[in-house]
């Protein structure tokens, strides 16, 4: 499997990456950089590809994003 191949990712992971990419683009990040950041975020949240043959792991969580929200709320309070 060549680098950059997204066949090991589930539809949910692909949707999530697309949504994150749109958010980065809306904030003015260049399109190619937005795509890289989006997939990096998906990998951070889920630990990589989840389809059979990719060593299915634990379910997706949003720990990092939740933790960031808690930190921000605590800091501003």
**Where do we find the tokens 């539809």?**
11
pLDDT attached to residue 64: 67
Helix (DSSP H) and strand (DSSP E) numbers for the chain: 3, 0
pLDDT attached to residue 45: 83
Query: Contact at 8 Å (CB) between 60 and 46?
Result: yes
pLDDT (tens digit per residue) in 16-71: 999 999 999 999 999 999 999 999 988 888 877 777 665 566 666 666 677 766 66
pTM of the model: 0.68
- Whether 4 has a pLDDT exceeding 70, the answer reads yes
pLDDT attached to residue 33: 96
The Cα-based distances of 36 to 21, 49, 76 in angstroms read 8, 15, 30
pLDDT: which is higher, 77 or 23: 23
């Amino acid at each position: 499997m060549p680098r950059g191949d997204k066949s090991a990712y589930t539809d949910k992971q692909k949707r999530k990456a697309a949504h994150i990419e749109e958010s980065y683009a809306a904030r003015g990040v260049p399109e190619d950089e937005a795509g890289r950041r989006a997939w990096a975020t998906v990998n951070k949240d889920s630990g990589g590809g989840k389809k059979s043959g990719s060593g299915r792991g634990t379910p997706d969580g949003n720990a990092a994003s939740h933790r960031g929200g808690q930190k921000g709320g605590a800091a501003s309070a």
